[in-house]
Structure 1
Amino acid sequence: MAASAEPVRTPGLAEVYNAHHDFVWRSLRRLGVDATDVEDAVHDTFLVVARRLAEFEGRSSLRTWLFAIAMRVAQSRRRDQQREVHHLHRYESVAPPQSEDPWTREESRATLHQLLDSLDADQRAVFIMIELESMTAPEIAAVLDLKVPTVYSRLRLAREAMRRAVARYLARTKDRAP
């Protein structure tokens, strides 16, 4: 008698939300969603999850599937924001808050987001997934519908761009040092 394969149990929305809210929030911030908009972006992400959870087939991990959705939400928000800025001609300075200790947790986070913003969107997604969320290249390739060598190529380019961005940042901060 052949053993029948049991269907993969898809978790419910509440279970997914409770288990992965923090991951989605972090991912959206790292993908460039402004801190004031991140909760709305999390909400938008989970609205998509609610609509599509029944379609999740388990070909990738739930985290990589959620990251792909969050990435699209972040891209959409950036496009909307760029349109708004273009139409309203509003330019605001985005400077991290200064304190007596230049390496406070919040300033470090703001610096990380500035550095991530310097990356191309495709490279940033791969960089975040591998370097900050410890996902594997095959997982990323499956979620982003890429070939594994493309993932590694984007990672290499992202790392080079990040090294340059860090060097520029350090040169700027060195010039401001007392």
Structure 2
Amino acid sequence: MNIKLNVKKGIGVLWIITLGFILFPLNVHAAERSEKLVKESLLTDLKEVEDTTYSLTRGNILNKGTAKCVNAGDGKVTAAGVVVAHQICDELYLTLSLDKYDESIKDWYTYKTWEVSEVNASMLLKSFDTEVDKGYYYRVRGVHSAEKGEIYESVETCTDGILIK
């Protein structure tokens, strides 16, 4: 009988603790960072950022697309992207746009764009280095596409912004 009483008491204590967390949740604060969300992208102090989007179509030809933005130093940015297909496709396409953040209008605009393609391939990887204006945030947006016969599939990516000092 003593054991049953202790089990009931234990369950009661657990119930009270659980109820306490529901009614009075703990406020846990992460370390403060100097990041700001602007039109889908955080303005960060990171040296490199990337975004990957997987195709949601089951039985598709396109697997994923990845865009990357890297502070290459000396006022240069590396914009990179990859298109990965599940099989060899007639053609893969990659469009990368380097966007610059304009504080005066609180929005991004296209600074530079590159378009490349590869025939009879299952992967396309390309990077571009470019000089940029220092003191601004930059991000990379990508359109990653695959075509095989009558099938055409595409995904979009968008990185966070990095500050080029």
Q: Please classify the TM superposition score into its range, dividing by the shorter chain length.
A: under 0.3
Give the TM-score taking structure 2 as reference length: 0.22
Question: Going by fraction, where is helix more abundant, 1 or 2?
Answer: 1
Question: Going by fraction, where is strand more abundant, 1 or 2?
Answer: 2
Give the TM-score taking structure 1 as reference length: 0.21
